[in-house]
């Protein structure tokens, strides 16, 4: 099942991965500052970038309809978290949860975990709320909040597609596991820094 999807979607995912820098450059030149800020936020925030690419990788690992439903769940709950941040509703341990998402998603990929789709959607949805909240807290300070929202949602979708493409290009489980292990290691370091353990 996974390799059937690979043949269909790998070229598109690889193209998306290559287009991220060029799209960001185009936004910087032509886009509204609100849109540009939103679009670049997930791309320049290393923790956000790693987590969103990992969601794409994990969805490929699970296979089947998870390839689209798991990233979609992240995007839906990303918007929910953004709404909470915009409304000024606080969440506990936002930075810790974001670091945990990088660690947890990377670990699931490293271990080649075959999660049930519902569980994977729940997990990424939970993490997405905190990622969205971090974005949403910046919205009230911007002149064009809706353009900012459109920007970070679009960039997040592009990163998911890039992760899917990367996962489909890595046909060997060992290569994907290595990427996951690296992400998990970075996430663990982020957790230790967040709580001043190192």
Helices (H), the chain: 2-30, 33-44, 46-62, 66-86, 94-110, 117-136, 145-169, 173-194
pLDDT of residue 33: 59
Residue 194 burial class via C-beta count within 10 angstroms: exposed 0-12, middle 13-18, buried 19 and up: middle
**pTM, entire model:** 0.82
pLDDT of residue 159: 96
pLDDT of residue 140: 66
Maximum CA pair distance of the chain? 47
Under-50 pLDDT residues of the chain: 1-31
CA 64 to chain centre: 19
Closest CA to 99 of 30, 12, 194: 194
Q: List, for residues 149-180, the tens digit of each pLDDT value.
A: 899 999 999 999 999 999 888 767 788 899 99
């Amino acid at each position: 099942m996974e390799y059937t999807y690979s043949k269909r979607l790998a070229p598109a995912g690889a193209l998306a991965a290559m287009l991220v820098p060029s799209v960001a450059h185009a936004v910087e030149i032509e886009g509204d500052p609100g849109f540009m800020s939103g679009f670049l936020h997930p791309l320049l925030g290393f923790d956000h970038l790693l987590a969103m690419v990992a969601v794409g990788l994990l969805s490929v690992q699970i296979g089947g309809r998870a390839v689209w439903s798991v990233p979609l769940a992240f995007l839906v709950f990303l918007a929910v978290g953004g709404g909470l941040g915009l409304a000024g509703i606080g969440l506990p341990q936002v930075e810790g949860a974001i670091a945990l998402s990088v660690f947890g998603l990377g670990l699931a990929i490293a271990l080649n975990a075959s999660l049930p789709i519902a569980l994977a959607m729940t997990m990424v949805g939970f993490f997405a709320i905190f990622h969205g909240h971090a974005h949403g807290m910046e919205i009230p300070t911007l002149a064009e909040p809706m353009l900012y929202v459109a920007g970070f949602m679009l960039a997040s979708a592009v990163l998911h597609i890039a992760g899917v493409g990367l996962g489909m290009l890595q046909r060997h489980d060992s290569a994907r596991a290595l990427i996951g292990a690296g992400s998990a290691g970075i996430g663990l370091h982020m957790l230790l820094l967040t709580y001043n353990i190192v």
